[in-house]
Amino acid sequence: MEFEEKRKKLVESLKSRNILTEPNVIKAMLKVPRHKFLPEGAISSAYIDSPLSIGMSQTISAPHMNAMMCELLKLKEGDKVLEIGTGSGYHAALCAEIVAPKNSQNPGHVYTIERHLELADRAKIKLVNTGFGESVTVINGDGTLGYPQEAPYDKILVTASSPKKVPPPLKQQLKDGGILCIPAGSKEWGQDLYVICKKGKSFDSKRITGVRFVPLIGEWGFPE
């Protein structure tokens, strides 16, 4: 079966499980070629709903988690997005397809930070090769510090699990009315996915579900 056909089947399955509901997220999941962000050995598993190894002991999240986070963030055209944990670059591409679709009159942008230089460099190449070179900026560094140069952000997504508290720089760099989505809890087990909305000086936090992510390592994350 061709990749596009497999991708369609995956999207249909996520829709039937009510994980994918928003038309802009569905469109992006149908369009972005997940297989092009994977290492050679994982390509045949690209459209299975499962996390996969991408090297450096890191993973690309399962497609249902990508879809869920995009929907929880209520991503829309024109949003300025900050992602912590570039990994393969796939989730950044998905966000970019939503916030800065081709020929947009009001294109948004995705800034994505990865602590492993090798992964950041690899993701950069894959993003350029798949047409996301203009709409995504990859930064190598500690994402727990955010990226103040481009703040404030409409949306922030963290794709590695934080210790209990949300890194304060990320709260500061979120726009008033903005949304942040983050897994938090222990380093390995017992993590929960939260959606946090900033309203003036207060933050409304909602627990969504139990999850399992690799740890967020950095100044406001877990120690190395």
* Residue 90: CB minimum distance to ligand SAM, A: 4
Is residue 104 among the annotated active site residues? Answer: no
Nearer to ligand SAM, 100 or 160 (CB): 160
Question: 69-83: b or e for each residue (b if 16 or more CB lie within 10 Å)?
Answer: bbbbbbbeeebbbbb
Binding mask 95-124 for ligand SAM (x = CB under 6 A): ------------------xxxx--x-----
- Decide: 37 and 126 in contact? Cβ < 8 Å: yes
As a whole number of angstroms, the distance between CA 215 and CA 186 comes to 8
As a whole number of angstroms, the distance between CA 217 and CA 223 comes to 6
* Residue 216: CB minimum distance to ligand SAM, A: 4
* Residue 88: CB minimum distance to ligand SAM, A: 3
Binding mask 60-79 for ligand SAM (x = CB under 6 A): xx------------------
As a whole number of angstroms, the distance between CA 26 and CA 5 comes to 15
Q: What are phi and psi of 153, to 5 degrees?
A: -110, 145
- Decide: 96 and 37 in contact? Cβ < 8 Å: no
Among 135, 137, 159, 191, binds ligand SAM (CB under 6 A): 159
As a whole number of angstroms, the distance between CA 11 and CA 19 comes to 9
As a whole number of angstroms, the distance between CA 134 and CA 131 comes to 8
Binding mask 134-153 for ligand SAM (x = CB under 6 A): --------xxx---------
Nearer to ligand SAM, 164 or 201 (CB): 164
Which of the residues 16, 50, 61, 104 is marked catalytic?
A: 61
- For ligand SAM, the binding residues (CB under 6 A) are 58-61, 84-85, 87-88, 90-91, 113-116, 119, 142-144, 159-160, 213-214, 216-218, 221
